[in-house]
Amino acid sequence: MSDEEIIDLYLKRDEHAISATKDKYHNYLYKIAYQILGSHEDAEECLNDTYLSVWNSETLDRESSLMAFLIKLTRRTCIDVLRKRNSQKRIPSECVTSIDELADSISGGYSPEKVYDSKLLNIAIGKFVSTLPHIQRNLFIGRYYYFDPLKDVAEYNGITESKAKSMLFRIRKKLKKYLVKEGFEL
């Protein structure tokens, strides 16, 4: 079933939309959820919450990319679960490790005053990533968007883990320099 047909089912409030979404995207979304949470049960629970969020969404329309929308919801849901879990106890995960790696390049902390700045920061990072050569872009997105382990990122890019680690280090340094040049305070 095409994305447009699935979106139409959601817009018509047809319950088959959820099963069609599961049939088409469950394995892909599960991989993302598991990479972030490191638990099969939590990943499945987050995917159920994601499907519910899509069902209740008022922003889904025919112009939307269903896959991008699902990824965004899955990541948000998983990160919320991870934050809740980590506020109770510290459990290492690829998500926490990836975010920690980026901490030197991008300042953290959210406040109402920083919402607009964070949107500008997202745009600037997107522009930066789009200028990277193919392999560097794949490394960056795999590590910091999908939270894949360094070993996996290196493997699917056909390079050694140490080379991937050093390339990501250099990319983070370039990103920091780029963001400072763009006027962001880090």
pLDDT tier at 64 (50, 70, 90 boundaries)? confident
Note the pLDDT of residue 130. Answer: 92
> What is the predicted pLDDT for the residue at 93?
54
User: Residues 81, 37: contact at Cβ < 8 Å?
Assistant: yes
Chain-wide mean pLDDT for the chain?
Answer: 83
Give dist(CA 173, CA 31) in Å, integer: 29
Answer whether 0.75 is exceeded by the pTM.
no
- Please check whether residue 19 is in contact with residue 51, taking contact to mean a CB–CB distance below 8 angstroms: no
Calpha distance 75→61 (Å, rounded): 20
Tell me what pLDDT residue 98 has. 60
More confidently predicted of 129 and 145? 129
Domains of the chain: 3-88 (1.10.1740.10), 97-181 (1.10.10.10)
Mean pLDDT calculated for residue range 34-38:
85
* Numbers of helices and strands, H then E, in the chain: 9, 0
Instruction: Give residue 89's pLDDT.
Output: 52
pLDDT of residue 82: 79
Sign of CA dihedral 130, 33, 63, 53: negative
- Which is higher by pLDDT, 87 or 147? 147
**Nearest by Cα to 126 from 112, 115, 114, 137:** 137
The answer on pLDDT for 169 being more than 70 is yes
What is the tens place of the pLDDT at every residue in 68-126?
889 889 988 988 887 787 665 544 555 555 656 665 555 555 445 555 667 777 888 88
Dist. CA 86–CA 100, nearest whole Å: 14
User: Is the Cβ–Cβ distance between 7 and 65 less than 8 Å?
Assistant: no
- What percent of the chain is predicted at pLDDT more than 70? 81
User: In the predicted model, what is the mean pLDDT of residues 147-158?
Assistant: 90
pLDDT at 184 over 90: no
List all residues 6 or more positions away from 170 whose beta carbon is below 8 Å from its beta carbon: none
Residue 110 pLDDT? 47
Give 160's pLDDT tier (boundaries 50, 70, 90). very high
